[in-house]
Amino acid sequence: MNSLNKCCYISNKLFKYTRVPRSIHTTSCALSKSDVDVHEDKPSSASAEVKGKVKEPFIKNLFAGLFDTEMLVYPEYKTREELVSAIDRVAPIKDFFVHVNDSKAIDEEAKIPDSVLAFMRENNVFGSIISKQFQGTDLEKKEYMQLIEAVGVDSSVSNLLFNHSVITNAFLLYGNDSQKEKYLPRLGSGEWNFAYAFNEKISGIDIMDIAVTAKPMADKKWSLTGSKMWVANADRADFFLVVAKTWDHKVEDSMAAKTTFFIVDKTLNGIKVGEPLQQLGSKGISICNVTFEDTVVSEEDILGNIGDGYDIAVNSMSKGKLAKSASRLGLLKKLADMVSEYTIQTKISKLPLHKYEMCRYNLGRIMSDIYSIESLVYLIAGNQDDFDTFDSILEELAADIYSLETSFDVIQRCIDIIGPQTVLKDSPLERILRDSYSYLLHDLIPTDVKKIYVTTNGLQRAGKVAHEEIKKARNPLNFPMFTLKSFVKFDNALREDPKLTGELRQMVHPALGADADKLEHCLIRFEYIVKEMMRRWGKELLDRQYELINLSNYATSMLVMTAVLARASRSYCIGLQNADMERVLCSALCHQHHQKVKRIFDDLNDGPIETGRAVFLKIGEDAPNNKGYFFSHAVSRNY
């Protein structure tokens, strides 16, 4: 297909203006007094003025060619008193997990001590996200992230808290009034423990492909049968939240099957909890298999409605993903401190290890990766605080994906610095590295599934916005001006130095203008590649996992660039300590992600044949047929 036909599928509006999100095609992108009410006792950020408004989803709009420039205004506490209050609230928890909690003992004994759980109950940690109506503390998101970060230095406790938050979110989002009254106060106090019975052996990329069934009985009761795997905290739980396959009628038609969540009391008949499984890390929170054999539950124990299983699973787990990122942040900071101390104490040829270039480089990359995760977590959390309604599920998933993958990069750099000592049994770093990898087991949803979810939801948004444009593109002769503009945009997107509006740079400090231009470059190309993938593959795109995953990677990199730009600009404007270093670090990170998305763009735009990806797909198809590696040995000959 020639370039003219291709360009017909490119959007006619590169960055469409709406109030929220604020478009880069506005006349002036800087906040003015006419935009907000300015008071002397409030900060200059928009956060103090936007409470009560609705914020549109950032990543979904990226797929539609829209960019919310207000995301470049980094959120902050509105007053000094709020900031001090949050620090004071988190301080005793941080102090306890640094100086009192014994992570090594938890790892060796494979149990979180009652004293730790008692401390968390006394400090209302379990009720942090529960409203005061149900005896919770209902912390703001920024403050909650700081609390989770403090707890994150111990992965067993943070994984326990993550599973607790998933359960809590499920009740907050889908519980009826009586269920909330019954369970939320006891969840918040830590009196009752829940286990999330979700995973099964057959579950793969389809997270709702389950075998546990719930059959209707007389008197509005249900009978649960089947097994769940890798259920965290199962041996200490008082209740299970179980997802099962259900039908609206007695005929068990697989095509009519729905998924439903049930609240299951552990004391009911037919429940068997297996022995704790051996884990690589996070040993303080047990993982068990649980079997249900004709376990009878009442209709009152259904969470939400019949068939709500998928929505409950996705929304309850996604709502807690930002906290997962914050807990990794706490663990990575602890790891960075330990590695830094190691480079000071260790000498090679009478010089401290940190005097050597590669050590300094790896240390710098570790610190910069942690900085980017921190920037991302508190950008999202701050916007959740500032707006009553913010559909941020995709942003939380993107932060979770980025923090997990970046954690592995940090771990590898720590290994490069310390060497073989990292994996010695008595090394404190060995336990932390094991704990880091254990997040995979407690994550519940595979990373690739999360990426596909991000992209498919983004494409839905893009399809709605681009509907009229596609109709015009299919009739280019009837819409000559649209066709001409599309061709110009098509040509601009493929240039190495495309024409920029330069308006994004108006939202950041002038010293970061070039980095804002790199972000705009990424945005121009992202709009093009999304439309090109939709045009090239049509409905088949939803089955092309490679393309979906890489579109998610592209969008995540733009979100990270936005976060570090906003944070560094704020730091530089208000003169925070090390603001000069933040500025140059921001430039380095923006360059790094700019190069990354260029590679993704070229890979997707060139297609599977030109990039050689089709060859790898064919080899992957042949490997199972040959039951493994099937090439002839390197020294083989034909005789």
Q: Say if residue 513's pLDDT is above 70.
A: yes
User: Mean pLDDT over residues 403-429, rounded?
Assistant: 85
- Of 411, 444, 477, which marks where a domain is finished? 444
Is 461 found in the same domain as 431?
Answer: no
Tokens of 127: 């009720």
Q: Do 435 and 474 share a domain, yes or no?
A: no
Residue 599 sits in a domain whose CATH number is 1.20.140.10
435 in the same domain as 418: yes
Report if residue 190 sits inside a domain: no
Q: Are strands 389-390 and 54-55 parallel, antiparallel or unpaired?
A: parallel
Last residue of a domain, one of 444, 468, 484: 444
The answer to whether residues 335 and 479 belong to one domain is: no
Using pLDDT thresholds of 50, 70 and 90, give the confidence band for residue 470.
Answer: low
Lowest mean per-residue pLDDT among 45-54, 317-326, 563-572? 45-54
pLDDT of residue 10: 26
Asked if 422 and 437 touch (Cβ cutoff 8 Å), the reply is no
- In terms of domains, do 411 and 522 share one? no
Pairing of strands 239-246, 194-197: parallel
What is the 3-state composition of the chain as percent helix, strand, coil, each rounded to the nearest 5? 60, 10, 30
pLDDT at 618: 93
Query: Which amino acid, residue 26?
Result: T
Name the percent of the chain lying above pLDDT 90: 62
CA distances from 528 to 6, 407, 533 (A): 10, 31, 9
Q: Of the candidates 379, 504, 509, which has an alpha carbon nearest to the alpha carbon of residue 75?
A: 379
Asked if omega into 21 is within 30° of 0 (cis), the reply is: yes
- Looking up tokens 């997040």, which residue turns up? 439
Q: Are residues 495 and 537 in the same domain?
A: yes
Task: For residues 460 and 585, state if they share a domain.
Answer: yes
Query: Structure tokens of 288?
Result: 């068990």
What is the rounded distance in angstroms from the CA atom of residue 46 to the CA atom of residue 40? 14
DSSP 352-408: EGGGSHHHHHHHHHHHHHHHHHHHHHHHHHHHHHH-SEE--HHHHHHHHHHHHHHHH
**Are 555 and 526 within one domain?**
yes
> Of 316 and 146, which is predicted with more confidence?
146
Instruction: Supply the pLDDT for residue 31.
Output: 31
> Average pLDDT of 331-349?
92
436 and 452 co-located in one domain: no
| pLDDT beyond 60 at 276 | yes
Work out whether the CA dihedral 199, 204, 206, 209 comes out positive or negative.
negative
Cα dihedral sign, 365-70-311-461: negative
Q: Which of 444, 472, 493 is the last residue of a domain?
A: 444
Q: For residue 22, is it within any domain?
A: no
Question: What is the rounded end-to-end Cα distance, in angstroms, of the chain?
Answer: 48
Binned at pLDDT 50, 70 and 90, residue 444 comes out as: low
Q: For residue 252, what pLDDT is reported?
A: 53
Question: Does any domain span residue 553?
Answer: yes
* pLDDT the model gives residue 3: 36
Per-residue pLDDT at 142: 95
Q: Which residue has the higher pLDDT, 150 or 8?
A: 150
Q: Where does residue 189 rank: exposed (0-12), middle (13-18), buried (19+ CB within 10 A)?
A: middle
Q: Contact at 8 Å (CB) between 512 and 572? A: yes
Same structural domain for residues 455 and 369? no
Query: What pLDDT sits at residue 409?
Result: 92
Range of the domain at 486: 448-622
Q: Which amino acid is at 337?
A: D
Contact status, residue 66 vs residue 33, Cβ threshold 8 Å: no
- The two tokens of residue 540 are 């088949």
- Average pLDDT, whole number, for the chain? 85
Letter string b/e over residues 338-368, b meaning 16 or more CB atoms within 10 A of that residue's CB: ebeebbeebeeeeeebeeeeebeebbebbbb
pLDDT at 54 over 70: yes
Whether the pLDDT of residue 118 is over 60: the answer is: yes
Q: Are 238 and 187 in contact (CB under 8 A)?
A: no
Q: What six digits make up the tokens of 575? A: 């003169």
DSSP state of 114: H
Which residue shows structure tokens 């060796």? 108
**Residue 289 in domain:** no
CA angle 441, 446, 450 (to 5 degrees): 135
79 is a domain residue = no
Q: Strand 221-232 to strand 194-197: parallel, antiparallel, or no bridges (unpaired)? A: unpaired
* Residue 310 covered by a domain: no
Number of domains in the chain: 2
Distances (CA, A) of 401 to 126, 410, 432, 510: 25, 14, 19, 31
State whether 390 and 532 are in the same domain.
no
Pair (429, 492) in one structural domain: no
Q: What is the pLDDT of residue 584?
A: 96
265, β-bridge pairs: 239
- Domain contains 601: yes
Establish if 173 belongs to a structural domain: no
Q: Which residues, 6+ apart, have CB-to-CB distance to 192 below 8 Å? A: 183, 186, 238, 239
